[in-house]
Amino acid sequence: MKSNIPTRSAAMPVAQRRFRAPALLSLAVLIAPLAMAQTTVTIDLAKPGIPVSPTFYGLMTEEINYSYDGGLYAELVRNRVFKDDDKAPVHWSVVQDAGGSAAIALDRRYPVPATALTTSLRLDAAHATQGHRVGIANDGYWGIPVKPNTRYRASFYARTAGAGGVPLTVSIEGADGKTVYAQAEGGRIDGEWKRYSVTLTTAADVKPTADARLVIATESPGTVWFNQVSLFPPTYKDRPNGNRVDLMQKLVDMKPRFLRFPGGNYLEGVTVDTRFKWKETLGPVAQRPGHPGTWGYRSSDGMGLLEFLEWTEDMKAEPVLAVFAGYALNGENVPAGPALQPFVQEALDEIEYVTGDVSTTWGARRARDGHPAPFKLRYVEIGNEDGFDKKKTYDGRYTQFHDAIKAKYPRLKLISTVNGKDWLGQQQKVTSRVPDLVDEHYYYKPMQMMHDAARYDSYERNGPKVFIGEWASQEGEPTTDLHSALADAAFMTGMERNADVVEMACYAPLLVNANPGGVQWRYNLVGYDAQASYGSPSYYAQKMFSNYLGDVSLPVTAQKVSTQTWQEAARKETPQVLPPAQEVPTMFFSATRSAQRGEIYLKVVNAIGSAQTVQVDLAGAAKVAAEGKAIVLSSAQKEDTNTIAEPTKVVPVTSKASGLGKRFSYSFAPYSVTVLVLSSK
């Protein structure tokens, strides 16, 4: 990252320091088009072009903005194992109809045997009688989503104090208790701990709502202890511990080539002890203790290592595995040498879990967990954002990991979190080994992102490849607006034109729960609440670029492109110094070719509010069809965006494009991202 990257949200002070850098005060933009000249673009088909990595566009994920719990991970019960707060059963409440009374409290006296379930919720149903129920209720992640004709899987552990038995009912009902959407008998609870499960089915005429709760109640007096109370809706591909269908479909539709996981800050933890301990995320969810997250809320670890791998499998993507490398967010550091060796071994074990056959220790464990076949793995990232390590120990730590991994897995490509030309990558260097790739992170306001679109034009061609592991234009909240999408697309044209430098790229953050309290990072790609989800304009720009990507990047030259003058504001630390004004193009271009499909994908960004006509010349083309296809993302105002209420305000429109050929003119709409699909068969 560069020194003018905006900071992450101040809402979470533990993690915000990861992006502590001088911020821009304001931006001023003056459009100065060269009205006297027409822009011309030449695509040189006589040259072989640059091979495009098969893993060029992918996804980056971490637990932020309730991305997993309360987001992609489909569990609907919040605080299902009663560890989100040490003092109170948050998100749980007492249910007591008129004439009944009860109390609830956390209880650590009776852990569930042979599990990680150590804290239970005790219901004292002293005054439950026939027709006067009492019980417990969970409010979910800003509500429990109710949909018509839907089957929900509810389960829980329970025990009672005596042998008489306490009958329970399980229901999904309105938050006020007046409407019951689905209900089933939960069983008679006797004696020691036992797991109970029921199916709840809503009627076909139920009106969708998120103003609902899960209730477990009884009309019999007694004391009942509960643990790991769970409610799952239908999941993507019906995985029993699976993902939310609508969010998965949006990600699948992007056709990502890889998934970088488990994070980000989430990988490191606030302390070494609160890092992502992958071995504790394996097996039945009752065996997973969970851990404190890095953005102010606890992680259930329902999204464990195998779930991440199955997520990639469901998207037909590859894993990019980030391994903990001895550095935590609070600055805690494990130096290279004997102290670091257990963490190196932990990484080797993790790689074996991913790739080993059933004859290996950890490959056999993966098979026992339900996935006998190994996963394909080509990339391993060592740590995350280690440029923030003030002790500057990454060179030694990287070397120890590098040598151990390469000795056992010589074909793996290893990614360094420093040595990039971003601000963060320059804070310290890896000098003792040469990484296969370096990870660069960029978070800019839209005009700066457009200004930076040519950054890779000047990179050396013979060094390590670049993995742009986190990047985004930042305008529009909680998901970005069209202006950000234009800047994102401009930057991606630079990536594609420099495919000999850039091997992989993934936007961040990926997901955000748009409810108040659900947002820790202000600018995100996909938004949702309990009931619905939507893609930002940036999401659609990403989808367009990923869906229409050839295997070769073609040489593109543009002439007579109009510019806009961008005046970066003075920085806070030197307010008296005004940086020089910069000329930023109003249009951006890239082109790739798919030999298999016989198509050329010309991508054009028009960043201003008036149409611009471009003369396109496909030099050396043998044949170009007169008709093709245009996919256009545009809107009247660059501030336009999508929301829960208006999820499709700014979306791509596909239409027939006529008048094409080896040489043609095309008018590009105001504030638009366009993909022209040209047939060269």
Q: Comparing 120-129, 264-273, 322-331, 498-507, which segment has the lowest mean pLDDT? A: 120-129
pLDDT score recorded for residue 97: 85
User: What's the pLDDT tens digit per position in 327-379?
Assistant: 999 999 999 999 999 999 999 999 999 999 999 999 999 999 999 999 999 99
CA distance 479 to 523: 5
Label residue 22 by pLDDT band (50, 70, 90). very low
Residue 403 Cα to chain centre, angstroms: 30
How many Cα atoms occupy the beta-carbon half-sphere of 562 within 13 Å?
21
Does the pLDDT value for residue 90 go beyond 90? yes
Label residue 37 by pLDDT band (50, 70, 90). low
**Average pLDDT of the segment spanning 611-629:** 96
Q: Which tokens go with 625?
A: 């069809």
CB 337 within 8 A of CB 395: no
In the numeric block, the tokens 């004292």 are attached to: 124
* Residue 37: other Cβ atoms inside 10 A: 11
Percent of the chain beyond pLDDT 70?
A: 94
**Average pLDDT of the segment spanning 293-302:** 97
Report the relative pairing of strands 291-292 and 298-299 from DSSP bridges: antiparallel
CB 131 within 8 A of CB 169: no
pLDDT score recorded for residue 12: 36
User: What's the pLDDT tens digit per position in 397-416?
Assistant: 999 999 999 999 999 999 99
One-letter-per-residue 3-state SS of 410-475: CCCEEEECCCCCCCHHHCCCCCCCCCCEEEEEEEECHHHHHHHHHHHHHCCCCCCEEEEEEEEECC
pLDDT score recorded for residue 101: 86
Handedness of CA 604, 608, 612, 615 (dihedral sign): negative
Catalytic residue among 62, 318, 352, 385: 385
Q: Which residues contact 114 (CB under 8 A, 6 or more apart)?
A: none
User: What's the pLDDT tens digit per position in 555-598?
Assistant: 999 999 999 999 887 777 787 788 889 999 999 999 999 999 99
pLDDT score recorded for residue 27: 33
Does the pLDDT value for residue 446 go beyond 90? yes
pLDDT score recorded for residue 163: 67
Q: Comparing 126-130, 180-184, 625-629, which segment has the lowest mean pLDDT? A: 126-130
Q: Which residues contact 375 (CB under 8 A, 6 or more apart)?
A: 309, 312, 313, 319, 354, 355
The amino acid that residue 621 corresponds to is A
* 385 belongs to the catalytic site: yes
Does the pLDDT value for residue 186 go beyond 80? yes
Look at 258 and 33; give whichever has higher pLDDT.
258
CA distance 176 to 625: 62
Helical spans, DSSP H, in 11-138: 13-16
Residue 549 Cα to chain centre, angstroms: 21
pLDDT score recorded for residue 100: 78
Computed over every residue of the chain, the mean pLDDT equals: 93
Q: Which tokens go with 127?
A: 């005054």
CA distance 36 to 45: 29
**Average pLDDT of the segment spanning 644-670:** 97
CB 643 within 8 A of CB 531: no
Helical spans, DSSP H, in 498-555: 537-547
